Structure 1
């Protein structure tokens, strides 16, 4: 090669805009007699690895390097570029570079181990570690830490502990990785033991364990650890508090989290850290996840005033909260605010809105969603299309889903494995076997292989469809065959999966076993479920609280509460601390057996162990008392909940309202209803519940008052027993009130079945109020003509009776009345008016109508 060694690097730099040209220059100017100069291979490798469109050129570069007499130095440069690229070169290529090296040093293995861990290829981490040992390379602390992290991520905590104990040297990261793994597995007590074993207490590890205790509902242990931190001179920082707030929010203890947040805002003079951006974002997400939108709105206002609502990430959290709580319109308004504030939305912003529209069933026109996205100067990405695909599949719109896949191909938006898994899950759950096989063939053509998530989808589908034994057989086969075990299903499964290399192998994980054990417990096959639990532990997969909760729920569902208690005790012995959910499942089991005393004992035990009760805990106790007619014991629980900073929900109040109405004590029910409105807000379900209970007890006037309140609040009345109320008022000689209620319906613009006019028309006619009856008759016909018979019917009412039944036919009550043989006098008049037209007296049908009326009178006189 002519020129200085740096001339090739300079030449490559000048052609960096065209990587293919740079590669041709490199291939032409380097050979066995003219090896590449220093840094040239590294520069070219990084250039090709930086853009996915040039990844296909890397194998050509590899072949050229292997033809050189001393390939190791440039191979190391190539591998370094491939494993450190932000755009992730496929691991298969990096593995081929590794195999080409005669004796890869430990740092090379470390790079690949880290890349495999980053892509969650946990099985590859283990195989690479074994390969490292076989090659004679010596693992260092970094190597063992990566292995430790992979085992923790897979939930194999017992094996992780053995690796940790066997490490000849450890650093703070080693302790932190193991402690975090225990906390994620719901074993904060074990994480505390790891912290105790550290030579010097570490703030990061302390924060991890504090968050772990909070997540498990063990606030007292968290507080004790915080006090211990202060005693060792470690001042809890904002990260400590953020971890506590985040963990409490995830555990559903949002009010406890807000108390800490409020102290940080108002009591910071006492040495508490001030809230930062993360604190506000975590608290906002907690409110949104709990559906506490009013509190979230107040917090958003505070964030605006304090300058904490300036980043797109914060807006995205608020947008996501609004969408998850059904406020898509408000979320779209927030987009306009972002533009006004100069905050540029990103693709995630728009995908939040698109996902919300899809879940509301409003996005089944692909063009409509695309128009929305284009209006924000954004183009759909793989996440956008995946949201649409999930929505289409959930509604069984296969043709539309295929059209979306076609559009993705046209626009160069390649589906990823998650996209295919969404399709696979939707189709498999719906039992659309033919479409599943077609999808698998398409995946095979695109070079996708099934991963553990794909296998879990298939296994879950088999369990749901009653093919549990087949699912168990496949899981057994996965340990030796990986995804090849799915070939036992036949069809396209056999042709798709191929385990020719470890990179395609997928093994059962905690979710796999959790799915199996849940299905076994549902069928009452507890012995087999216990065997799977033992097998899981033998495979170094630590069961978490979710799996133990599965057994607790299964035993309680089958009435075996004593065995459920034994699971709880065994759970504690194994170092997996019960959560609030664990106790709630047990309490639910005792509530089903109406055992209030046992529920109280469990709640006392929770308090002793520092496990907080939540609204579900109290609702089970309230329901147990109410079902036993002990409302006097249930009512004080509302005050106790508020004292413990637990806000009663609609279910809490609904149980009490029903119980008081059953006594009957309607004044007490009304007081509870009033408190419910002030606590939960003006919710439709509360008005509907109160109205229904009063109607069931024939308290027509009180029910009418509640219904009128709902109408004033502009609440939809479709789920209300409005027909039953009107008929009941008419039967109890309160036709005037029924009349006024109808007029209010009309004035407020509510849609309802025109047939409900009939009881009122009949009652007014019997009382001699013919003008009012005629006016209502005219209004009924006008409404019937406008609706053309296509009204939404919530129930069928038999005129002049108090019966309220569910309509089993698609026809409205209006059609049923028109076709009845025993129609009332007014119905006969109306049907005749329909024939002649309103106000057309004196026509050829007039005499016939008079005859019909006279006949009717004669036939119905006693």
Structure 2
């Protein structure tokens, strides 16, 4: 069948221009011809034909007679017929070409000319003219065949007027022309364009029932339908079936090399169908990881081998936190592909970002380490992404006071060629402060200076806080003096720690001096400042002073918060004043503050210890 179609195409081609250089001239004449009215155009073409002036020619029989030895300019014929709407329009133009002065005998151009014209009209989006040509052939009694109707169906496909498909099929049946495999291939390709996958499969089943021999185009169209539907498993199953049939000699083989090339196309279509299916699962699926892994495993079992670029495109579709497992699997497949190509750096950066989004920071670090060891060389974005992940980990260490973990993170960064900045060192210093590790804070501060970094006010504040919590007040004051000496201007946080240091030393007069110094520098004390003072009083068992500072805070118009009342209640209980502590607790609750359960337990235990349970109820 394929060879007969090839022969038919060869015959049609023999009636076309025998030289490509003449075709250019014919197209130029056709372009100028299109600007003429239909009547003048017909006379112009007739004159050209009569003088034998056509460039591209078609000669011979095939359903009609033409002047012996005179060529036919097919491009000019198509140009003349492009505005035809009825068989009468076609009739007048054809008669002009044939120079029909006898008027009696039915004359036609060679049938191969008509088929070429029909195809050209379809590509030029002139389906009405193509149908008019077929009606003209029917009126003149030409023997229509499968080739004519296949060209008409192709014209419908090219023009996109799919509503006329059934009219073509009905006309074929009325003319007694049976559809061949080319007809069904064209019909299936139209359904693929429309996304009518079920109709494609129905037509393919009809092909098999009729006993027609599918061509490579048939199989490609079915694969395209599965691709359009994103049905990965059906595409894989169909590909495996085709491959098995080919290996068993069940497919009609013309040239083995040609079929090998076709199977390369089939495999690519299968990969594309699987890609669309997996991408759709990642975007819309309820269980994207499971669905994508199933497709990947099915491809492995079928021996379908995606290229590195296919995996990389799929990586870009991984954007959700739950996609990290798929991203990691795809990354391993790309690295282990062995195709000689290097993984894209942008893909690696995307995976580093994805792992960070999923809180898989060590997995992100592994990818970064692979960039250093295996390539490609990381760029600025790679550094920024991995630094942001380290900062997240350091921030967690800071909040929890896990300073040793922070030190290990700094060491790991330096091992990988990443230079921690002040932000990273400050995070570890703040972790030491939260953990009350004064000696560790001093060591880290010194190492920071040794690394060539200049400590800022946050660095000094963290060191002061650690020394304050370690009750190393004299050392803390020396640090303060050094900070001022090197030109670091203290902020509210630093001043807050300083007043806490003086409270710890029992020097309340200096606390007033610090507050005045703050006001002189336009740094207003806040509730945080007074909370630090009250908290320091509680730590140093100076509950009376804590209560005094509470009143001074209110005199300044600063409203206490939950921490203020929590510290004050603890101070009053230390001072043996459970009833007053209870009153403060109720006052805070009446103000709408949510005190922690610890404050309630402290008041309850103090009252029961002082009055006993029943006495506590009477005291209330």
Q: TM-score range by the shorter chain?
A: 0.3 to 0.5
TM-score, normalised on structure 1?
A: 0.32
Choose between structure 1 and 2 for higher RCO, CA contacts under 8 A separated by at least 6 residues.
Answer: 1
Tell which structure's C-alpha radius of gyration is larger. Answer: 2
TM-score, normalised on structure 2?
A: 0.42
